[in-house]
């Protein structure tokens, strides 16, 4: 399949309410770097934005109910329909990622803990309704 080498085969494309505020949150909470932004004709809503984070890219856009209702934010749908899983290298990075997200305004969903499958794992819900899970393998000594 002729994909560009820098474009992963699967990408998350988040729909949010208040895209500008979402971008600011992801920059603060996850260290995201906005690499592209296209505003809608109204000059307010985000038509498309690319955010570099966690060594990958997430795309984002505001809701556009006047064009289609097939993609809406979790806040409009009444909850998230998936979890965005972020695999990190070290268990301590999971704690740091969750702490940073909560400090920026995310809600803890599952406290960070060592899990039976051999990973450090925790989940948060961002202010836009998306659920993020952070996962890192535990070493042989649990570290």
Q: Which residues have CB under 8 Å from 45's CB, separation 6+?
A: 19, 39, 61, 62, 63, 64
Average pLDDT, whole number, for the chain?
A: 93
Task: Classify residue 71 by its DSSP letter.
Answer: S
Share of the chain above pLDDT 90, in %: 86
3-state secondary structure at position 1: coil
**For residue 141, pLDDT beyond 80:** no
Task: Express each pLDDT in 111-132 by its tens digit.
Answer: 999 999 999 999 999 999 999 9
Q: How far apart are CA 135 and CA 139, in angstroms?
A: 13
Instruction: List the domains of the chain with CATH numbers.
Output: 1-64 (3.30.720.120), 79-143 (3.10.180.10)
For residue 23, the number of C-alpha atoms closer than 13 Å in the C-beta half-sphere is 22
Where would I find the H helices in the chain? Answer: 19-30, 74-77, 91-104
Distance CA 96, CA 8 (A): 26
Q: Residue 20 above 60 pLDDT? A: yes
CB 30 within 8 A of CB 101: yes
pLDDT surpasses 80 at 142: no
Instruction: Give pTM, 2 decimals.
Output: 0.91
């Amino acid at each position: 399949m002729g994909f560009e080498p820098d474009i992963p085969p699967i990408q998350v494309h988040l729909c949010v309410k208040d895209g500008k505020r979402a971008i600011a949150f992801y920059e603060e909470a996850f260290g995201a770097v906005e690499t592209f932004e296209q505003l809608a004709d109204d000059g307010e809503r985000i038509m498309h934005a690319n955010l570099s984070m966690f060594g990958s890219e997430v795309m984002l856009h505001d809701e556009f109910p006047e064009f289609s209702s097939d993609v809406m934010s979790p806040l409009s749908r009444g909850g998230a329909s998936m979890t965005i899983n972020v695999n990190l290298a070290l268990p301590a990075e999971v704690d740091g990622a969750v702490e940073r997200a909560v400090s920026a305004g995310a809600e803890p969903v599952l406290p960070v803990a060592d899990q039976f499958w051999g990973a450090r794992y925790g989940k948060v819900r961002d202010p836009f309704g998306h659920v993020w899970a952070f996962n890192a393998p535990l070493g042989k000594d649990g570290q």
